[in-house]
Structure 1
Amino acid sequence: MADVGRRLERMVRQTQAESRVPALAAALHRADRPLWSCAVGGTGTDAPLTPASRFRIGSVTKTFTAVLVLQARDDGLLDLDDPIGRHLEVPAHGELTVRRLLSHTAGLQREPYGDVWDTLRAPDVGGLIADLARAERVLPSGRRYHYSNLGLSLLGHAVARLRGGTWAEVLADRILTPLGLTGTAVAPGPEAVTGFLVDAYSDHARPEPPADFGAVAPAAQLWSTAGDMARWAAFLADPAALDPRAEVLRAATLDEMRWPATVTDESLWAAGFGLGLILLPQGDRVMHVGHDGAMPGFLAAVYGRRGGAGTPGAMGCAVLGSSGTAAATLELPHRLLEAAVREDPAEIVPWTPGEPAPAAYRSVLGRWWGEGFEHVFFWRDGALRARGADDPAGRPPAVFAPLPDQPDVLRTVSGREVGELLRLTRDGSGAVVRMHWATYRFTRTQETFDGVPVSEP
């Protein structure tokens, strides 16, 4: 790992030098290695740049607000299809749903009413809500992706109201403390790095003015360290590894958040958006999930890696920079994640013999035909599974679980036809001779839809 760490460090140093970033911090989290980190440059203050230095993470904040919303849903406090007006008293746009606001498909204008980027003065919660009457619906709800800081802010305040506290209080109590994110806060603190605008035509770097974003906090307020954000990215990718008792969020709920709700560009399907999360396909069934952030003087990119050969558990990377224009900051975590897996892949776990399939399902195992195509049913890791005979090796199989007290009726719990039933039909000896999956008939030989073996004349 030492040689790999040096190569990763060189990538960080090269980015800092070529993109002229006053301070650049990166960290890589994975379950099978110690935390790796690297920081290059200066803070712009009298304090040295250290792993404890805090950068503004901008819209990465939205991922925390999104988790708070899904926590509230899991606790029965709201439904994703509820109108926001059910949980927050608003003078307009109350019919927009929680789901649409989370996925940036509500059509609400991007920013709160007024010229907040000119004044750098954000409204308080009362003002934000009162000014909704002057905010526009710039697109029909559900028409397409349209990013909205205003929408995510409303969700943060709705959750705070449901929990009986402020957004900052609820965030600390329900996410930061349970996950041990001690370097993450709504205020910069003494460890804060100065954010800069670097002159395009000289090496001069001018500090950007500090700004507290008031009621827009749930969309953009947080400060954090690279180490904290790498851990957060790992949580977004593999929550069971960092939160095994699901104190913060169930793994199945994060699966739901990672499902793409929309593409971000109708002509180039290179990125998607789930429930508060950016989804970036990397090829070979690898997905990077997380968020970018931008505030005056700062850029941040925080992503976890899922899928693909060699990807270890709980893998996440964060890159935080103190230049508001160094776009390479946003590309670097993806390069670091790819390089770490390529040069130091997860160890290959040896195969060991397991228990045989239960007697009730042994006659299911093997090759079956459905819709003219061949499928293989097999038992592995305590569950019945199936895949197309010609499926590529990396495609996950369908996984089945029997219904309570109905061993011959199984629910597809993941993979192809998830949610659909698999029904088994047995002969007099108890052997399974026919199956119906999502109502399609499966037989041991290839048959036409009216049940005639294809080999017959």
Structure 2
Amino acid sequence: MTAPLSRYERVARKVQADGRVPALSVALHRADREPWAFTVGESGNAAHPLGPETRFRIGSVTKTFTAVLVMQARDEGLIDLDKPVSAYLDVPAHGDATLRRLLSHTAGYQREPYGDVWDTLITPDAAKLVAELDRAERVLPNARRFHYSNLGLAVLGQLVAKVRGGTWEQVLDEYVLTPLGLRATTVTTPRQAAIGYVVDAYSDAARPEPPIELAGVAPAAQLWSTASDMAKWAAFLASPERIDPDGRVLAAATLDEMRWPLTTTDETLWGAGFGLGLILVPEGRRVVHVGHDGAMPGFLAGVYGRRGGEGNPGALGCAVLGSSGGAGQINELVHELLRLAVELDPAEIRPWRIAPPAPTAYRSVLGRWWSEGSEFVFAWHDGRLEARLADAPADRPPAVFAPLPDRPDVLRTVSGRETGELLRLTRDDSGEVVRMHWATYRFRRFQDGFDGGPASAGPEPVPAG
């Protein structure tokens, strides 16, 4: 066993022991290594001892699947995220909430469907969920602040099922699970299922939790899976271009959109946020973990992929699944394993290689330019024009430009600083670029004032006295 794998196992064993988790299953997926999986404990299922194929409830990680289904439908033109729910579902109340607000938990829907579902363990079917929306509260105004809502994601799941003309379960299998080969991820309880427990706080006793089928609330928390399937799913959320290079499930640009922060979960700490259906956990130095936590009676799950940072091989995803509903260490372990993966086993450093020069039309753009008293560097790397502040940290991504069709002197900023804005090139009679305008701000080869005069040509000082 290599040193990194030994370390991964040790931290997993410690969480299982310290957290008193009956069964723990962990997995790492990365682009440059074979997948790694490890289990410790007992499944509680005598017919199917604990192993990599043991299934666990993943709870609210299910929401990430529903979010992807919503974004697929949006990309196909079936829905508009900024239209209200009532445009697609016949709801008796709260139909003004937009799909975008529901995905980011900022629509103000109460947390659960009407009724004490976690007391009775009875949830409404799909039709009743929608029909009883008028019995649920709008606990906050639309867009006021973050408020987590299982009800909101359940409504979205039923909405996307309706526009697809099937059930949520059918749509999920056809559009996500089968294309990505997530064969161990199911809606129904599999025979390899671990038993979920509530572990007594004051002894080593543990009580099996009752099974619950979520019916109409299934799009929020129903799924079962393995750690290996979930590590691959986390890798997809972080690096879709590696897991789904043809974009059969979702375009990489759409997942970029899902990962953009729309709200923080705490107004003072800013330690986590939500995009479109995804939890975002900043790790510092331009690294973010993207995914979701999950909980169901007797189960906890953490499923995250890592984006950015030194040593990241790409498609780096981790899943930690446990059969205890009260061991918070499970949700911390997923982040620790992602950190250890790049610290103990960083990606190989790729050698720099000579590449073709920039196209002739853009060679006079390269180099240093000034705007608003700040110096920028324009360069050509990886077949594209880039720009960054001259003193920007090395880990800050550059702005990237792409020319408009049939207009090589007008380029769109496709990522980084000023995304969406135009860069316009002005040439002299010889064809050299002598001036540029980016987001309408003037760029010249020398530092100038807003009146166009060079900064070096200030007035002579007035003699004293």
- Indicate the TM-score class for this superposition, using the shorter chain for normalisation: over 0.9
> Match for residue 215 of structure 2?
214
> Match for residue 145 of structure 1?
146
DSSP 3-state at the match of 2:132: helix
Distance 2:405 2:344 in 1: 46
> Match for residue 419 of structure 2?
418
DSSP 3-state at the match of 1:111: coil
Distance 1:239 1:54 in 2: 24
Distance 1:257 1:268 in 2: 22
- The answer to whether the 8 A contact 2:300-2:331 is kept is yes
Q: Which amino acid aligns with 2:8?
A: L
- The answer to whether the 8 A contact 2:413-2:422 is kept is yes
> Match for residue 25 of structure 1?
25
Q: Which amino acid aligns with 1:33?
A: R
- What does residue range 136-215 of structure 1 map to in structure 2 within 5 Å? 136-215=137-216
> Match for residue 120 of structure 2?
119
DSSP 3-state at the match of 2:79: coil
Distance 1:261 1:371 in 2: 30
> Match for residue 306 of structure 1?
307
> Match for residue 381 of structure 1?
382
Distance 1:147 1:354 in 2: 49
- What does residue range 32-51 of structure 1 map to in structure 2 within 5 Å? 32-46=32-46, 47-51=48-52
> Match for residue 10 of structure 2?
10
What displacement does 1:95 show?
1.0
Q: Which amino acid aligns with 2:62?
A: T
> Match for residue 68 of structure 1?
69
Distance 2:27 2:45 in 1: 22
- What does residue range 330-409 of structure 1 map to in structure 2 within 5 Å? 330-409=331-410
Q: Which amino acid aligns with 2:342?
A: V
Distance 2:457 2:190 in 1: 79
Q: Which amino acid aligns with 2:285?
A: D
Distance 2:90 2:225 in 1: 32
- Deviations 1:119-173 (Å, cap 9, x if unpaired)? 0010111211121111110000000000000000000001001111100000000
Structure 2, gaps ≥5 residues long: 459-465
Distance 1:85 1:185 in 2: 30
- Deviations 1:27-56 (Å, cap 9, x if unpaired)? 000010000111000111202101110000
Distance 1:159 1:447 in 2: 54
Q: How many residues align?
A: 457
- The answer to whether the 8 A contact 2:45-2:192 is kept is no
> Match for residue 463 of structure 2?
none
Identity of aligned residues (%): 69
- The answer to whether the 8 A contact 2:311-2:347 is kept is yes
- What does residue range 424-443 of structure 1 map to in structure 2 within 5 Å? 424-443=425-444
- The answer to whether the 8 A contact 2:425-2:437 is kept is yes
Q: Which amino acid aligns with 2:39?
A: A
Q: Does 1:450 align with 2:451?
A: yes
What displacement does 1:221 show?
0.2
Distance 2:302 2:392 in 1: 34
> Match for residue 294 of structure 1?
295
Distance 1:26 1:216 in 2: 27
Distance 2:190 2:307 in 1: 33
Q: Does 1:263 align with 2:259?
A: no
Distance 2:36 2:127 in 1: 43
- What does residue range 60-139 of structure 1 map to in structure 2 within 5 Å? 60-139=61-140
Q: Does 1:235 align with 2:230?
A: no
Distance 2:22 2:158 in 1: 34
What displacement does 1:246 show?
0.5
What displacement does 1:2 show?
1.6
DSSP 3-state at the match of 2:189: coil
